[in-house]
Amino acid sequence: MPALIDIRRRIRSVKNTQQITKAMKMVSAAKLRRAQEAMFAARPYARRMMQVLNSLASRATPEAHPLLVERPQQNVLLIVVTSDKGLCGGFNANITRAALRFLQDEQRVGQTVKLEVVGRKARDFFRKRVWELHAEHVGVFQPLKYETAKVLAKSAIDGFTAGRFDAVYLVFNEFKSVIAQRVAVERLLPVAREEFAPENPPVEHLYEPDAQAIFDEILPRHVEVQLWQALLESAAAEHGARMAAMDAATNNAGEMIDSLTLYMNKVRQAAITKEIIEVVSGASS
C-alpha cells in the first residue's frame, strides 16, 4: 500500500499540470480569436481576386501566360504547412502523414518530389527521415506576415517558370470550425483553369496597359493570396486545435485528481481501520 504522502504529492503535481493546461487553453482561445479575425479580414480580397481572375481568364487561352500551362508532371514541389509549436493534438501529425502519403504516391508513379516546409514541426519530422528539403521557413507564425506568403510564392513561381517543377502542391490544415480542422491538399501551380467558369455574356473590357501586363501581375498575386490564405487558415486552425487539446487535457487532469482523491481517502480509511483494530484487539487481550 502506497504511503498517503506519496498520493498527496501526486495529486499536487497533477493539479499543477492542470493549471498549466488551463492557462494554455485560455491563451489559445485569445490567439484563436485574433487569428480568426485576420482570416476573415483577408477573405474579401481573396474572393474579389478570384472574381477578377475569372472575368479575365474567361477571355484568355491557356497559352496566354506561362503560369497557366499544364505540363506532364515529372518534378513536383510540395509545400507543407505545419506549426512551430506542439501540444495541439493531431494537428501536425495529420499534416505530416498526408505529406508522406503524397510523397509515396508520387514516387510510385515515377515522379520526383521536392519539399518546402513551413513550421518547425514539419522540418524536424522530415529531417529525421533524411528527406532533402528544398527550403524551410521556421518561426513565421509569431506574428504572421504577408512577406512570408510573398517569399513562398516567389520560390514556387520561379521554380515553375524555370522548369524545375512541373507542378506545385500545398498541404495545410484548413480551418473548418473552432474544433475541427481538415487536411487540404491543393494544387497551386499551374493555376487551375476549371476555377474559371465562363462568364456570360462576356463584356468587352478596355485594358490598361494591356491584357498581357495585367496577367503578368495578377497571376503571381493570385498565387500569393492563395498561400496567404492557407497560412492564415493554418494559424487559426492551430490555435483551435491547441485549445481543444488543452481543454481535453484539463478535463483528463480533473478526472485523474478525482480518482486519486478517492484512492487517497480509501487508503486513509484503511489505515484508520487498521489502527482501531489494533487498539481494540490490544484492549481485549
Contact residues for other proteins (CB under 8 A)?
41-42, 44-45, 48-49, 51-52, 55-56, 146, 203-209, 213-214, 217-218, 221, 225, 228
Residue among 127 and 205 whose Cβ is closer to other proteins: 205
Sequence-ordered list of residues with C-beta below 8 angstroms from that of 24, at least 6 positions apart, any chain: 87, 242, 246
Residue among 170 and 243 whose Cβ is closer to other proteins: 170
Residue among 55 and 75 whose Cβ is closer to other proteins: 55
Q: Following DSSP, what letter does each residue of 146-170 receive, concatenated?
A: HHHHHHHHHHHHHHHHTTS-SEEEE
In Å, how far are 165, 252, 283 from 143, measured between CA atoms? 30, 31, 74
Q: Following DSSP, what letter does each residue of 53-93 receive, concatenated?
A: HHHHHTTS-GGGSGGG-----SEEEEEEE--SS--STTHHH
DSSP β-bridge partners for residue 113: 76
Minimum CB separation of residue 137 from other proteins in Å reads 18
DSSP β-bridge partners for residue 118: 81, 137
Minimum CB separation of residue 43 from other proteins in Å reads 9
CA–CA gap between residue 236 and residue 38 (Å, rounded): 9
| Catalytic residue numbers, as ranges | 88
Q: Grid coordinates representing 37?
A: 479575425
Minimum CB separation of residue 33 from other proteins in Å reads 15
Residue among 191 and 249 whose Cβ is closer to other proteins: 191
Residue among 7 and 231 whose Cβ is closer to other proteins: 231
Minimum CB separation of residue 51 from other proteins in Å reads 8
Residue among 139 and 209 whose Cβ is closer to other proteins: 209
CB atoms within 10 A of CB 157: 20
Minimum CB separation of residue 81 from other proteins in Å reads 17
Angle at 152 between CA 195 and CA 187, to 5 degrees: 30
In Å, how far are 16, 19, 190, 242 from 6, measured between CA atoms? 16, 20, 63, 31
CA–CA gap between residue 274 and residue 112 (Å, rounded): 72
Minimum CB separation of residue 239 from other proteins in Å reads 19
